[in-house]
């Protein structure tokens, strides 16, 4: 794949079995980018989907020149395909966001002053700081259990990794090209805990991280109790790696 060395922004969207909503997300992002005065690309990285995700993306490639499909036959895990997209991207700035469009691309407007003018290397979206908002589609016991587990897991992540970051796993993170190309080759966690790891690596390498409030719409999704357990195991692995000095 040829790399364009003059691109301003690369957007990486990991996708697994997203045939029903990936087109809406791509079109929303593309409409926004059409209004901007900078060059851009959209990488959608298919993570070995078993449905027609790849076909849906290919149909849009014909009408959206900036759209590029990376089609993996085998499942790598969300962290694996984000890493793949980040390292294939050419943008001076590189953002990854979710295929469900839970955080709209317009939120990036608030990120630019911090990464361009205040010279932060990584800017991340958060619903756990003042100004952050979450719209839940879950109700009753399901909502309570998700909120309780979510709060506990965030607290544990802060205790074991970076205390000053309140929300490590919101899928809306912007990196400079330099930081992305130093951080992601060191990434070892390929599934749910990868967000935590890339921030730990960023801090170990001395990069400046800014956490900003965003609005997050939580659609019915794929997060289960088993996912929390897997993330806990990965969190412990990250802590072990950090103590051993692996990320340096």
What's the CATH code of the domain at 46? 3.90.550.10
Q: What is the pLDDT of residues 45-95, one digit of tens each?
A: 999 999 999 999 999 999 999 999 999 999 999 999 999 999 999 999 999
Is residue 113 in some structural domain? no
Q: Is residue 40 part of a domain?
A: yes
- Mean pLDDT for the chain overall: 91
**Helices 53-61 and 22-34, axial angle in degrees (round to 10):** 30
Between 248 and 89, residue with greater pLDDT: 89
> 116 in a domain, yes or no?
no
Cβ atoms of 76 and 105 within 8 Å: the answer is no
> How many domains are contained in the chain?
2
For residue 107, being part of any structural domain is answered with: no
Instruction: Look at residue 111 and tell me if it is in a domain.
Output: no
For 105, which DSSP code?
Answer: G
Residue 138 within a domain: yes
State whether 61 and 138 are in the same domain. no
Give the model's pLDDT for residue 231: 82
CA geometry: angle 138, 144, 147, nearest 5 deg = 85
Q: Name the residue range of residue 31's domain.
A: 1-101
160 has pLDDT over 80: yes
For the stretch 25-50, pLDDT in tens is: 999 999 999 999 999 999 999 999 99
Q: Is residue 186 part of a domain?
A: yes
Q: What does DSSP say about strands 9-15 and 93-97: parallel, antiparallel, or unpaired?
A: parallel
One domain for residues 92 and 133? no
- The pLDDT-based confidence of 141 (bands split at 50, 70, 90) is very low
| Same domain for 157 and 94 | no
Secondary structure class of 215 (helix, strand, coil): strand
Question: Considering the domain boundaries, does residue 112 fall inside one?
Answer: no
* Count of alpha carbons within 13 angstroms of residue 74, beta-carbon side: 2
Local structure of residue 205 (DSSP, 8 states): T
Q: How many helices (H) and strands (E) does the chain have?
A: 8, 9
Last residue of a domain, one of 101, 117, 134: 101
d(CA 194, CA 117): 28
Q: Tell me the per-residue pLDDT of 166-186, one tens digit each, with 9 for 90 and over.
A: 999 999 999 999 999 999 999
CA-nearest of 47, 95, 54 to 72 is 47
């Amino acid at each position: 794949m040829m790399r364009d060395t003059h691109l301003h922004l690369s957007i990486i969207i990991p996708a697994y079995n997203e045939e029903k909503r990936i087109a809406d997300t791509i079109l929303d992002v593309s409409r926004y980018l059409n209004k901007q005065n900078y060059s851009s690309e959209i990488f959608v990285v298919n993570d070995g989907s078993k449905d027609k995700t790849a076909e849906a993306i290919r149909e849009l490639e014909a009408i959206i020149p900036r759209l590029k499909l990376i089609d993996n036959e085998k499942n790598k895990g969300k962290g694996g395909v984000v890493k793949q997209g980040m390292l294939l991207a050419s943008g001076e700035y590189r953002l990854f966001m979710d295929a469900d469009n839970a955080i709209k691309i317009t939120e990036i407007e608030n990120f630019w002053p911090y990464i361009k003018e205040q010279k932060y290397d990584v800017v991340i979206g958060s619903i756990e700081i003042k100004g952050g908002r979450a719209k839940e589609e879950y109700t009753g016991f399901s909502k309570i259990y998700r909120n309780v587990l979510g709060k506990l897991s965030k607290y544990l992540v802060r205790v074991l990794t970076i205390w000053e970051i309140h929300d490590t796993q919101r899928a809306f993170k912007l990196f400079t090209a330099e930081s992305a190309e130093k951080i992601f080759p060191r990434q070892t966690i390929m599934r749910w805990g990868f967000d935590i790891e890339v921030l730990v690596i960023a801090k170990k390498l001395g990069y400046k991280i800014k956490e900003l409030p965003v609005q997050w719409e939580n659609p019915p999704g794929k997060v289960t109790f088993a996912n929390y357990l897997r993330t806990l195991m990965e969190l412990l692995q990250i802590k072990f790696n950090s103590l051993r000095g692996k990320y340096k």
